[in-house]
């Protein structure tokens, strides 16, 4: 797969040159950041990005889109005494969070010590706090840019279950997968994209938030894969405007409420939701007795569950409250991988 350019509405390979006020630990953090470059099975370049070491045995974290579609993956350390490349093996993926865990096959003494630590505490990601982004823009070594966090709770591009930090550190093509580091030298995010129709710097940069990175990294490191719980329902928040729109579309429907999460799209008979008791235009208003009214609340309630767990949904159906005993499913990554394939097809179409 080819990721030579940015996706529409998101610049996949991010970073730019900037001036940074040094703080203790920036040099060590910089030395843990490596350059990745991939090729497909025919030897065509699929793009490049950054990664950073997260363990003493050569494991490194990067963006999923950096390794998507690659058959051959190489890494460069940018060591002045070692400009060789090293083979890289993909160990685990999390397309939902746009993350991947890779193993760099290099001698133990070449692995930087200390490796980078991911911050899981939201209090260390306060709006207005200083951050530094590190990466290899266009293959240039160790580009560092300084900025501040200006939002910590943007929704993820392809899933509401992943949270994004918005920051002002200059980033452009080349640094996807590089770390966003706070003043303590800890990773508070993984730089992923910029908000721009052309992929150039507009002042709006995004990084997968540290706690979501830690969640994914823990599973990839310990289990070798990420298993995310899911309802497998196409739902959205309900308000007065949405209710009116649905009643116009389905005039025979009964939707007495203007709150909760409604199953707006028709459900196939063989779908997970239908098999577990949910119908079209049901509105979920509580999970295990706790009210739910938006996707953030839903995420907080289900992310601690496991596939196979049973939860009790309070549902409004045909003007009545009912309880549905619902089994949690495992999130289907194939649906998310299609997102990257579709974006690539759009990019290739634009080039023709």
Distances (CA, A) of 34 to 37, 51, 83, 141, 341: 10, 5, 11, 9, 26
- Cβ-contact 87, 34 below 8 angstroms: no
Q: What is the largest CA-CA distance in the chain?
A: 73
- Cβ-contact 206, 164 below 8 angstroms: yes
Which of 224, 191, 189 shows the shortest CA–CA distance to 66? Answer: 191
Which of 130, 133, 135, 124 shows the shortest CA–CA distance to 49? Answer: 135
The kind and range of the H/E element at 316 are strand 310-317
Which residues are tagged catalytic? 65, 98, 176
From the number of C-beta atoms within 10 Å of its C-beta (0-12, 13-18, 19+), residue 351 rates as: exposed
- Report the C-alpha gap between 266 and 235 in whole angstroms: 10
For residues 109-146, one letter each, b for 16 or more C-beta atoms within 10 angstroms of the residue's C-beta and e for the rest, the string is eebbeebbebbbeeeebeeebbbbbbbbbeeebbbbbb
- Report the C-alpha gap between 308 and 281 in whole angstroms: 24
- Report the C-alpha gap between 213 and 94 in whole angstroms: 10
- Cβ-contact 52, 208 below 8 angstroms: no
Instruction: Give 81's contacts (C-beta < 8 A, 6+ positions apart).
Output: none
Helix (H, G, I), strand (E, B) or coil at 16: coil
């Amino acid at each position: 797969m080819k990721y030579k350019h940015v996706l529409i509405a998101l610049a996949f390979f991010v970073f730019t040159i900037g001036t940074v006020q040094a703080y203790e630990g920036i040099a060590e953090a910089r030395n843990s950041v490596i350059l990745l470059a991939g090729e497909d099975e025919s030897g065509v370049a699929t793009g490049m990005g950054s990664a950073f070491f997260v363990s003493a045995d050569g494991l490194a974290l990067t963006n999923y889109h950096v390794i998507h579609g690659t058959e051959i993956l190489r890494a460069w350390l940018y060591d002045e005494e070692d400009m060789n490349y090293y083979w890289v093996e993909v160990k685990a993926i999390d397309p939902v969070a746009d993350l991947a865990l890779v193993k760099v096959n290099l001698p133990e003494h070449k692995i930087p010590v200390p490796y980078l630590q991911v911050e899981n505490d939201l209090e260390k990601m306060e709006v207005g706090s200083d951050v530094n982004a590190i990466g290899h823009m266009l293959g240039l070594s160790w580009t560092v840019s300084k900025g501040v966090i200006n939002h910590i709770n943007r929704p993820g591009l392809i899933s509401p279950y992943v949270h994004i930090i918005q920051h002002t550190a200059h980033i452009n093509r080349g640094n996807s997968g590089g770390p966003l580091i706070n003043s303590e030298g800890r990773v508070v995010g993984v730089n992923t994209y910029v908000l721009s129709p052309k992929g150039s710097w507009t002042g709006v940069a995004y990084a997968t938030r540290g706690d979501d990175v830690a969640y994914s990294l823990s599973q990839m490191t310990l289990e070798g894969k990420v298993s995310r719980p899911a309802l497998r329902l196409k739902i959205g928040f309900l308000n007065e405007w949405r209710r009116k729109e649905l009643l116009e579309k389905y005039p025979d429907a009964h939707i007495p409420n203007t709150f909760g999460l409604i199953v707006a799209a028709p459900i196939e008979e063989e779908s997970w939701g239908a098999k577990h008791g949910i119908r079209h235009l049901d509105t979920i208003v509580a999970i295990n007795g706790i009210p739910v009214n938006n996707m953030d609340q839903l995420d907080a309630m289900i992310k601690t569950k496991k596939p196979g767990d049973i939860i009790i949904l309070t549902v409004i159906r045909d003007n009545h409250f009912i309880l549905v005993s619902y089994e949690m499913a495992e999130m289907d990554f194939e649906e998310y991988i299609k997102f990257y394939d579709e974006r690539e097809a759009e990019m290739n179409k634009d080039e023709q």
